Amino acid sequence: MSATHDVFNQAPPLTGFTTADDPALLEALRRDGGGWGEAEVRALGARAGTEEVQDWARTAEAHPPVLRTHDRYGHRIDEVEFHPSWHRLMAAAVESGQHAAPWAEARPGAHLVRAAKFYVWAQAEPGHGCPVSMTYAAVPALRAQPELAAAYEPLLASRTYDYGLRPPLGKQGLIAGMSMTEKQGGSDVRANTTTAVPAGDGSYVITGHKWFTSAPMSDVFLVLAQAPEGLTCFLMPRVLPDGTRNAMHLQRLKDKLGNRSNASAEIEYEQAVAWPVGEPGRGVRTIVEMVNMTRLDCVIGSAAGMRAGLRQALHHTAHRKAFGAELIDQPLMRNVLADLAVESEAATVLAMRLAAALDRSEAGDAAESALRRLGLAAGKYWVCKRGATHAAEALECLGGNGYVEESGMPRLYREAPLLSIWEGSGNVAALDVLRALAKEPAALDAYFAEVGEAAGADPRLDAATARLRDLLGELSDPGRAQLLARRLAEQLTLVLQGSLLVRHSTPAVADAFCASRLGADWGHAFGTLPPGTDLGPVLERALLKEASL
Ligand SMILES: Cc1cc2nc3c(=O)[nH]c(=O)nc-3n(C[C@H](O)[C@H](O)[C@H](O)COP(=O)(O)OP(=O)(O)OC[C@H]3O[C@@H](n4cnc5c(N)ncnc54)[C@H](O)[C@@H]3O)c2cc1C
């Protein structure tokens, strides 16, 4: 005991929980054909909440990766050293199949189960989700080149995490990265200047720079470069089949706001060897298959971050008293927590619906494919944008403790904006909504068919749906369309989220969402649910324990 004071009125450590204690997640899993994966999701969720894994997350971030450009004799080696905790996180993610299981076992619900695993595990540590997600996403793009897919896909889908620079086809398992962004053009990849010259044996020689390439210790990368036919997608291994290192020179690692456990490099390709993937000159079309998958993971990752922040906020406020009562019982704090819970559930239910749409579109369902196209563009915009605001408010629920690294909240806070920036920053995602509407008229039909499932259930949802149709009518003026794109992406997401909550959540959550997000009665900050909202059941659902599910 301290000579001067006892410690009291501080929350106990939050550990030994399971991130799968999540009604919205488990209900979605069962509803959309992923019930067979529930036991594995629960096991992974329980592991994510252990003290051991929390410690991996802390140390992987506290000891960020270090670039070793040369060995002691001056030879280039271009290696990145990671803390052992990074490798433990990666190994656990790969063993659980988050990086590619649906490609190895094309079972109904496989993408949904994988999404649920990614969601529960990302709550432990988000940084390593980047290479896990890119490996998952590389497979559909690689399939544009069947002979490469035949050789590499089984290794990308392998559940063995086999780290180290060796010829990829001799390894037990592979990790993939993506190398598109250049100094002069990120969103606008057509501005890429990296060149690809045919070598005459089917391979190409790549010369140029990439301004951002994350997870540079990956085994293979999908790279965009200008071939004689135009922008083309290539598969580039870190190590060539003869065991020599490909000429990918890591110039430096980015000093990033967050995502610090992960490495993001600037790379020079100095006549590096790569093989074309898909039709030469159609590189954007090929790599967009990858980008669409990583965009889904941005939505899932944002939902995971919200859930993790909410859990911390609920835990702290349940154990902290101020002005004579637990914070969680103070009316205004209840409004904040309930509002955070509503946002978190809306993000989760949408993320899982999009994952289910992926399953069905992979099985050939055109309407689900169209729904996914539009829903993902809009959701990438809105859910990822809400992530940062949600993290800030959840952090504040812990007061000063939330601002201190030991709480883990700064990590969530730093990570959140990244999910909105990469794989299409806010404006680019919103403009992608316009593109989806222009190029895939079926997307809007699929969207309204989905939303229509909840028609008549809540007048505020019906009114918001009608307003959305009016907004869509304004797009016929080309001068206005871009100005309205963000508003449109927001409304498309809110109406879809509202319809899903009305159909699948509890009346209290659906009511709180419709009253605030779809009605006019909502402030701009969290904690502004209108008076009369039944906060108790919203909080009870957010606090539900596994045993009662
Ligand atoms: C930590 C981190 C890791 C990354 N890892 C990778 C990686 O592994 N591989 C990779 O290829 N890239 C990676 N990136 C790059 C990332 O994908 C890009 O930063 C992102 O796509 C934005 O591109 P940019 O930085 O060139 O910004 P810009 O394209 O210059 O965009 C700047 C701003 O302008 C907006 N904008 C762009 N076009 C328009 C328009 N037509 N109208 C209105 N607004 C517009 C954007 O929304 C954005 O807000 C990473 C980035 C970060 C931060």
Of 219, 214, 223, 221, residue with least CA distance to 264: 214
Give me the pLDDT at residue 491, please.
98
pLDDT at 548 over 70: no
Nearest CA among 24, 129, 109 for reference residue 358: 109
Tell me the average pLDDT across 67-78.
Answer: 96
H or E stretch covering 519: none
Q: pLDDT tier at 521 (50, 70, 90 boundaries)?
A: confident
Quick check: 37 pLDDT over 60? yes
Determine the Cα–Cα distance for residues 352 and 350; give it in Å rounded to an integer.
Answer: 5
Rounded to 10 degrees, the C-alpha dihedral 125/251/266/221 comes to -80
Q: Identify which has the larger pLDDT, 184 or 545.
A: 184
Tell which one of 220, 422, 431 to mutate to probe ligand 1, the residue whose CB is within 8 A of the most ligand atoms: 422
Task: State the average pLDDT over residues 33-60.
Answer: 98
Report the SS3 class of residue 326.
strand
Strands 176-179 and 220-227: parallel
Residue 346 CA, chain-centre distance (Å), reads: 15
Residue of minimum CA distance from atom 51 in ligand 1: 422
pTM above 0.85, yes or no: yes
Q: Which of 257, 256, 255 has its CA nearest to residue 413?
A: 257
Task: Determine which helix (DSSP H) or strand (DSSP E) holds 476, and give its type and residue range.
Answer: none
- Angle, nearest 10°, between helix axes 331-362 and 110-122? 150
Residue 150 pLDDT greater than 80, yes or no: yes
CB 474: neighbour CB atoms within 10 A? 13
Give the number of other CB atoms < 10 A from CB of residue 35: 14
pLDDT at res. 549: 37
CA-based nearest residue to 493, from 346, 345, 390, 304: 346
Distance 424 CA to ligand 1 centre (A): 6
pLDDT tier, 546 (very low <50, low <70, confident <90, very high otherwise): very low
The model's confidence at residue 545, banded by pLDDT at 50, 70 and 90, is low
User: Of all helices (H) and strands (E), which one includes residue 124?
Assistant: none
Please tell me the distance from the alpha carbon of residue 201 to that of residue 204, in angstroms, as a whole number: 8
Q: From the CA of 421, how far away is ligand 1's center (Å)?
A: 6
Q: Which atom of ligand 1 is nearest to the CA of 210?
A: 11
Residues with CB under 6 A from ligand 1: 177-181, 186-188, 212-214, 256, 259, 264, 418, 421-422, 425-428, 431
- Most ligand 1 atoms within 8 A of CB, residue of 187, 224, 236, 291 to mutate: 187
Average of pLDDT values for 275-290?
96
Q: What is the mean pLDDT of the chain?
A: 96
Q: Token match 């890591």: residue?
A: 250
How far, in Å, CA of 179 to CA of 236, rounded?
Answer: 10
β-pairing, 248-253 vs 321-322, is unpaired
Closest CA to 529 of 412, 398, 393: 393
364 sits in the region (left: phi over 0; alpha: psi -120 to 50; else beta) called: left
According to DSSP, residue 171 is labeled S
What residue's CA is closest to ligand 1, atom 25? 186
Is the CB of residue 238 less than 8 Å from the CB of residue 272? Answer: no
Q: How many CB atoms lie within 10 A of CB 270?
A: 15
Average pLDDT over residues 319-348: 97
512 φ, ψ (degrees, to nearest 5):
-60, -40
Dihedrals phi, psi of 345, to nearest 5 degrees: -65, -40
Which are the contacts of 157, defined by CB distance < 8 A and separation ≥ 6? 99, 100, 101, 103, 104, 139
Burial class of residue 17 (count of CB atoms within 10 Å of its CB; 0-12, 13-18, 19+):
middle
pLDDT of 241 > 50? The answer is yes
Residue nearest ligand 1's atom 35 by CA: 427
What are the pLDDT digits (tens) for 395-407?
999 999 999 999 9
Banded pLDDT at 2 (limits 50, 70, 90): low
Q: 446 C-alpha to center of ligand 1: Å?
A: 29
Query: Average pLDDT for residues 199-220, to the nearest whole number?
Result: 98
- 68 secondary structure, DSSP code: E
